[in-house]
Amino acid sequence: MHLALALIGFVAVGLALGLLGGGGSILAVPVLVHLLGIAPNVAVPMSLPIVGSAAAAGAIARWRAGQLRLRTTTPFALITIVASYTAARLGHEIPGRPRMILFGLTMFAAAFAMWRRASRMGPVEAPAQKRSVAQMIPAAVAVGTLTGIVGVGGGFLIVPALTGVLGLAMAEATATSLAVIALNTVAAGWGFVGHVTIDPRLTAIVIAAALAGMAIGTRLAPRVPAKALTRAFAVLLIVLAIFMVGKELR
């Protein structure tokens, strides 16, 4: 029963990534911990290939549609890769409870960022103004650090950085965010090598569920109102964050 619910949860992970270019990865660790009973210190590295596979599949689909702008965002991607590997390498011994509390706080931050992003969406996409590339460094470091420590892809930070700093259109930012997430999770996963052992069979099963969700989300993305969806997802994150932090503090 728990495995069936977990598979539904990972379909939702892929679905959210396909629709929003981020956010779905933040559901992966709670599903592994609370539905499959996996310890947080194993759930975080286990979530990385799951999220990375779904993000890579989505990025390839968006690349075929001509939306990927990875060359434009190479500096951003390189910073996140270095930060995620370093954070995973240095932070693998963080105890489960502090890690999960930090994860819950990250969910609150993600919900706030996504609600704010939804508030800026209009019926017609306003042209973004390009700013200095140096302004994206804090966001890139934050994204990589969060990926390495708590396993989130960081799309809730990547998309605003790509639109607000690099001037990408929303469709391009969403597509490119998936590519950055995929690269990020590979780097963070490499940082955990030698420190954690994960179940390859279970990982493969949930990867398949996430890929199914990604395929659905990629097809639905042009048809679903992004503003309402982003706000609904932000509310879901707040509810999950309250549950997770409350459970860890009890």
Higher pLDDT, 113 or 131: 113
Based on the structure, what is the number of domains in the chain?
A: 1
pLDDT, one tens digit per residue, over 163-186 is 877 778 878 888 888 899 899 999
* Residues 38, 130: Cα–Cα separation, whole Å: 43
Domain residues for the domain of 141 are 2-249
Return phi, psi of residue 125, to 5°.
Answer: -70, 120
Residue 122 — pLDDT band, cuts 50, 70, 90? low
Question: Mean pLDDT across the stretch 203-227?
Answer: 87
pLDDT number for residue 74: 85
Cβ of 3: how many Cβ atoms within 10 Å? 12
- How big is the chain by its Cα radius of gyration, in Å? 16
24 pLDDT higher than 60: yes
* Residues 60, 43: Cα–Cα separation, whole Å: 26
Q: Mean pLDDT lowest for which of 5-9, 143-147, 149-153?
A: 149-153
pLDDT number for residue 117: 76
Residue 11 — pLDDT band, cuts 50, 70, 90? very high
104 pLDDT higher than 70: yes
pLDDT, one tens digit per residue, over 233-244 is 888 888 888 888
pLDDT number for residue 136: 78
Q: What is the DSSP letter of 245?
A: H
**Class of residue 250 by CB neighbours under 10 A (exposed 0-12, middle 13-18, buried 19+):** exposed
pLDDT, one tens digit per residue, over 46-102 is 999 998 998 899 889 889 888 888 777 788 889 999 999 999 988 888 888 888 888
The residues, any chain, with a CB within 8 Å of residue 140's CB and separated by 6 or more, are: 75, 76, 79, 80, 83, 161
pLDDT number for residue 229: 78
Residue 123 — pLDDT band, cuts 50, 70, 90? low
pTM of the model: 0.82
* Residues 48, 145: Cα–Cα separation, whole Å: 13
Tokens 């209009």 -> residue:
122
Instruction: Provide, rounded to the nearest whole percent, the portion of the chain with pLDDT above 90.
Output: 16
Alpha helices in the chain (DSSP H): 2-20, 25-34, 40-64, 74-91, 96-119, 137-150, 155-164, 170-192, 200-220, 226-249
Question: Mean pLDDT across the stretch 150-161?
Answer: 79
Residue 130 — pLDDT band, cuts 50, 70, 90? low
